[in-house]
Amino acid sequence: MIQIYVRKGCPFCKKVETAAATMELVSGSDFELIDAALGTPGRDVVLKVGGKTMVPFLIDGDTSMYESADIIEYLKTKR
């Protein structure tokens, strides 16, 4: 399942969440939202896999990416 790491209050994370909803993708079945706030296990994963603590961050198998626009384009291919 696609994992999208986000943190509360992040406008770029909200942009990805809104785009996913517009595409009628459902959290919990099409993708999983994971909290990546400071001090969370999600933040540790983002740093380990991507090398930065920046969010939003997507992991789908061997694919990982930052940047909300890139994540949205990737989600469009998964509809």
Contact 55, 7 (CB under 8 A): yes
Burial of 62 (C-beta count, 10 Å sphere; 0-12/13-18/19+): exposed
Domain residue limits, the chain: 2-77
pLDDT of residue 77: 93
Q: Residue 78 pLDDT more than 90?
A: no
pLDDT (tens digit, 9 = 90+) per residue, 42-77? 999 999 999 999 999 999 999 999 999 999 999 999
* CATH T-level assignment (fold) for domain 2-77: Glutaredoxin (3.40.30)
How does the average pLDDT of the chain come out, rounded? 96
pLDDT of residue 9: 96
Q: Residue 79 pLDDT more than 80?
A: no
